[in-house]
């Protein structure tokens, strides 16, 4: 009986469909490799004089990149349905890790901030893991309550309440920059997930004044705001970092002073290999180098958003929302880091993704890139499967709404496999497409 089932045409068709593999998006692979390569070069250049051993930070960066590459490979080889299955445990892990920093003997305090845990070989900043885990949970939540998020207050307020608790734990560390970033990612994913836009105004109108109060409540945050407005008023005090970053950017002019020729990295510019690495890039590679960095991030974020939209149109909502979340994270964090280095935003301790040195950031950003590449792989695989079921000779990207129809489990019938033509009515028993096209980007009214 089993031999007969294995030789049926429908079974052979299903086997061929299951054997179809995908392909990792070459644009994503290329831009990730370009950013990582630029980061290796610039970390090596900017950290030569940051330690008695000129290769200390460079070797550490390579070590963490090796660990990040391993995490990326694991993520690239893991089915997204497996990742989604553990979304609740990942959310629980967010709360546990943010509490571990306050455990005596495990949590590490640096300059009065409790943001790290001691892993023996290195300190680990837990908020970097929280970013990835929370994005996975929120993507899963938007899949499970996609219609309710648009229709009811409670479904919309639940993820806002979850991120509010995370923000409170972050502010206790304190970490205002990561708190603002998590709130922005949540708002962006809710909008892309189809939240009712008028309902979003309420939480936004309540949240922005609260953030402003938190920002000005601490004297050091207030000094950052005032020094950002006029860093030259106190160039050796509160404006020290920004004035040296601006001098580095100004000295670079159009094409820079040449790789390795930065003067500001010689003990003048603090955190030259981490938070202010773009200032070193501006000095050594000039305006052209800064534009190249911005272009690489624009390509990465734009490609991730496009892949996410493709996934949502094919009803692969978890993959789509996950891509949206990673794109928002990388886009917002790189925007803030670049803005801080160029004096456009107040000083915040956010690294430049895939470029700056920093073990926690490097590891978790590589993990996020692995998930994003997995999304592109499963999208390509789904498109090839749909094309095979439709009997197409060449595999082409399927981006129309008609490609969103569910794939049959066995051999395609003439009705199910053929796309509907304009004016045709689906026969009884044939799955019909929903009238709306995701993402809704919110509904007015």
**Phi then psi dihedrals of residue 46, to 5 deg:** -85, -15
Mean pLDDT score across all residues of the chain: 83
- In this structure, are residues 228 and 345 in contact, taking their beta carbons and an 8 Å threshold? yes
CA dist 49 and 35 (Å) reads 23
CB atoms within 10 A of CB 339: 15
Q: What do you get for the CA distance between the two ends of the chain, in Å?
A: 58
Query: How confident is the model at residue 18, as a pLDDT?
Result: 63
Furthest CA-CA distance within the chain = 86
Query: How confident is the model at residue 28, as a pLDDT?
Result: 96
- In this structure, are residues 173 and 123 in contact, taking their beta carbons and an 8 Å threshold? no
Computed over its alpha carbons, how large is the radius of gyration of the chain?
Answer: 24
Structure tokens at 56: 């200390």
Q: Is the peptide bond before 7 cis (omega within 30 degrees of 0)?
A: no
- Short-list 133, 108, 113, CA closest to 123: 108
- In this structure, are residues 351 and 275 in contact, taking their beta carbons and an 8 Å threshold? yes
> Which segments of 193-266 does DSSP mark as H helices, in order?
197-217, 219-229, 240-252
CA dist 127 and 180 (Å) reads 12
**Phi then psi dihedrals of residue 395, to 5 deg:** -85, 115
- In this structure, are residues 359 and 119 in contact, taking their beta carbons and an 8 Å threshold? no
Query: How confident is the model at residue 367, as a pLDDT?
Result: 97
The string of pLDDT tens digits covering residues 56-113 is: 889 999 999 999 999 999 999 999 999 999 999 999 999 999 999 998 888 888 777 8
Judge whether residue 445 has pLDDT over 80.
no
- In this structure, are residues 75 and 135 in contact, taking their beta carbons and an 8 Å threshold? no
Mean pLDDT of 395-411: 43
The string of pLDDT tens digits covering residues 308-342 is: 999 999 999 999 999 999 999 999 999 999 999 99
CA quadruple 141, 145, 147, 151: dihedral positive or negative?
A: negative
- Short-list 438, 329, 310, 440, CA closest to 375: 310
Place of tokens 């892993």: 119
CA dist 377 and 25 (Å) reads 7
Query: How confident is the model at residue 437, as a pLDDT?
Result: 41
Residue 412 pLDDT grade (very low, low, confident, very high; cuts 50, 70, 90): very low
Query: How confident is the model at residue 338, as a pLDDT?
Result: 95
Q: Which range, of 47-51, 123-127, 176-180, 321-325, averages the lowest pLDDT?
A: 47-51
- In this structure, are residues 46 and 277 in contact, taking their beta carbons and an 8 Å threshold? yes
| 327 against 437, higher pLDDT | 327
Cα dihedral angle (265, 270, 274, 278), rounded to 10 degrees? -60
Mean pLDDT of 5-22: 56
Residue 215 pLDDT grade (very low, low, confident, very high; cuts 50, 70, 90): confident
Cα dihedral angle (356, 28, 343, 169), rounded to 10 degrees? -70
For the chain, helix, strand, coil in percent to 5 are: 65, 5, 30
Query: How confident is the model at residue 106, as a pLDDT?
Result: 87
Identify how many contiguous H helices and E strands the chain contains and give both numbers.
17, 3
């Amino acid at each position: 009986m089993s031999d007969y089932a294995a030789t049926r045409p429908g079974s052979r068709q299903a086997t061929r469909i299951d054997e179809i593999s995908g392909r990792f998006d070459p644009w994503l692979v290329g831009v990730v490799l370009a950013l990582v390569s630029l980061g290796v070069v610039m970390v090596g250049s900017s950290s030569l004089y940051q330690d008695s051993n000129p290769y200390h930070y460079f070797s550490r960066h390579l070590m963490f990149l090796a660990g990040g590459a391993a995490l990326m490979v694991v993520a690239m080889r893991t089915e997204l349905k497996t990742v989604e299955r553990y979304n609740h445990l990942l959310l629980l892990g967010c709360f546990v890790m943010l509490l571990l920093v306050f455990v005596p003997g495990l949590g590490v305090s640096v300059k009065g901030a409790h943001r790290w845990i001691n892993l023996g070989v290195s300190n680990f900043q837990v908020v970097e893991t929280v970013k990835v885990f929370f994005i996975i949970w929120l993507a899963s939540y938007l899949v499970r309550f996609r219609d309710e998020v648009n229709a009811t207050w409670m479904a919309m307020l639940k993820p806002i309440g979850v991120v509010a608790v995370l923000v409170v734990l972050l502010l206790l560390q304190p970490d205002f920059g990561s708190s603002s970033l998590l709130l922005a990612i949540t708002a962006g994913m809710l909008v892309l997930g189809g939240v009712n836009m008028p309902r979003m105004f309420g939480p936004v109108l309540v949240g922005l004044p609260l953030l402003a109060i938190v920002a000005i409540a601490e004297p050091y945050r207030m000094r950052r705001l005032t020094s950002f407005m006029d860093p030259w008023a106190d160039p050796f005090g509160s404006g020290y970092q920004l004035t040296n970053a601006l001098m580095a950017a100004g000295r670079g002019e159009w094409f820079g002073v040449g790789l390795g020729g930065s003067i500001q990295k010689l003990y003048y510019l603090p955190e030259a290999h981490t938070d202010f690495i773009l200032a070193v890039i501006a000095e050594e590679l000039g305006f052209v180098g800064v534009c190249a960095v911005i272009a690489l991030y624009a390509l990465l974020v734009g490609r991730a958003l496009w892949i996410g939209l493709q996934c949502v149109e094919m009803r692969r909502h978890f993959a789509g929302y996950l891509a949206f979340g990673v794109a928002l994270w990388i886009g917002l964090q790189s925007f803030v880091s670049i803005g801080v280095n160029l004096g456009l935003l107040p000083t915040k301790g956010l690294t430049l993704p895939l470029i700056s040195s920093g073990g926690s950031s490097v590891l978790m950003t590589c993990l996020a890139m692995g998930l994003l590449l997995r999304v592109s792989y499963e999208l390509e695989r789904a498109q090839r499967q749909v094309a095979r079921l439709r009997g197409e000779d060449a595999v082409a990207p399927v981006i129309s709404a008609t490609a969103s129809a569910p794939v049959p489990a066995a051999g395609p019938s003439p009705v199910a496999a053929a796309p509907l033509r304009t004016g045709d009515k689906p026969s009884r028993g044939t799955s019909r497409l929903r009238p709306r096209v995701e993402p809704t980007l919110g509904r007015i009214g």
